[in-house]
């Protein structure tokens, strides 16, 4: 089999689900499903046929909730920085803050130099 064909097959099978996400793009809206499940459980049908139908509805909603939670887990794993521990994240944040402070200081020095070098009318 051709190596290029194998690589193309692997690329086609690679899901686009593993691109990094942002927190704003997460789909974690599962509270309505939980509410529906609780509301369905609280209903007290008197008819056995109705109980069976309601039980199936609840089971379906629980499956939907499970799928939604699994999807949320997959999305959270794709968030950038999740692979770092809290300590590593705090260290990185501190490093970035130092870099920002230094760049601001350099920018301010540059502005001051420009003001001193400009001709006065």
The DSSP line for 22-86 is -GGG-----HHHHHHHHHHHH----SHHHHHHHHHHHHHHHHHHHHHHHHHHHHHHTSTTTTS-H
pLDDT for res 68: 93
pLDDT for res 103: 98
Q: What is the pTM of this model?
A: 0.54
Cα(14)–Cα(8) distance, rounded to whole angstroms?
A: 10
pLDDT for res 55: 84
DSSP state letter for 120: P
pLDDT for res 15: 47
Q: Find all residues with CB under 8 Å of 33, minimum gap 6, and list them.
A: 61, 64, 65, 68
pLDDT for res 102: 98
Question: Mean pLDDT per 10-residue run, the chain (121 residues)?
Answer: 44 49 81 90 71 85 94 88 90 97 95 73 55
């Amino acid at each position: 089999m051709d190596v290029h064909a194998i690589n193309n097959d692997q690329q086609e099978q690679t899901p686009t689900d593993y691109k990094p996400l942002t927190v704003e793009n997460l789909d974690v809206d599962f509270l309505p499903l939980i509410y529906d499940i609780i509301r369905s459980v609280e209903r007290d049908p008197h008819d056995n046929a109705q109980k069976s139908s309601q039980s199936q509805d609840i089971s379906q909603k629980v499956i939907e909730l499970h799928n939604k939670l699994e999807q949320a887990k997959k999305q959270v794993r794709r968030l950038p920085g999740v692979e770092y521990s809290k300590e590593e994240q705090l260290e990185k944040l501190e490093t970035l803050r130092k870099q920002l402070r230094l760049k601001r200081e350099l920018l301010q020095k540059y502005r001051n130099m420009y003001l001193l070098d400009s001709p006065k009318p």
